Amino acid sequence: MDWSHVGLNCADQKATEEFYTRYFGFARARVVSLGDATQIVFLRRGDAYLELFASGSGPARTAQGDGPQEPGRMRHLAFQTDSVDAFLAELGDAAEVTLGPLDFDDFVCGWRTVWVRDPDGVIVEVSQGFEDDRSHDKDGA
């Protein structure tokens, strides 16, 4: 089984597409026309896809912090960067910071994270320095 994509409901598909292409390096991979000017936009970055659906309404509740805590709701999307500070400088005021930046050096040396809100209210985590705990590898390497 391979990972496929995350589907996002968008108040403004164009604004959401611009956000993820400009700040996260996604590119349009396909547009599927559903008739009557309705479309689904697929964005791709490497093996990761986002599927953007037009939605006629705003978020049910505005997510805070690192995302919704209720079961059955996606908490956040997450991306890795070389520098959280450089990402925030490029982002400017294009998105609201909902939490952080926070340092998690007590867990992983150099791990730093910030959470921002995308145009549709989805919380997006951006981290630097996270590494897997290799003790969980099957061969222990």
Average pLDDT over residues 90-102: 95
Confidence of residue 132 (pLDDT cuts 50, 70, 90): confident
Query: 102: number of CA atoms within 13 Å, CB side?
Result: 13
| Residue listed under structure tokens 């939605």 | 55
Query: Do residues 43 and 17 touch, judged by C-beta distance below 8 A?
Result: yes
State the average pLDDT for the chain: 88
pLDDT (tens digit per residue) in 31-63: 998 888 789 999 999 999 999 998 877 666 778
H or E, element range at 6:
strand 6-10
Query: Do residues 54 and 38 touch, judged by C-beta distance below 8 A?
Result: yes
H or E, element range at 90:
helix 84-91
What count of other Cβ atoms lies within 10 Å of the Cβ of residue 48?
16
d(C-alpha 121, C-alpha 62), whole Å: 6
User: In 36-128, which ranges are E strands?
Assistant: 38-45, 48-54, 77-80, 97-103, 112-117, 123-128
Cα dist from 17 to 3, 69, 125, whole Å: 21, 26, 17
Please determine, for residue 79, whether its predicted confidence score (pLDDT) is greater than 70: yes
Q: What torsion, rounded to 10 degrees, do the Cα atoms 50, 51, 52, 53 define?
A: -150
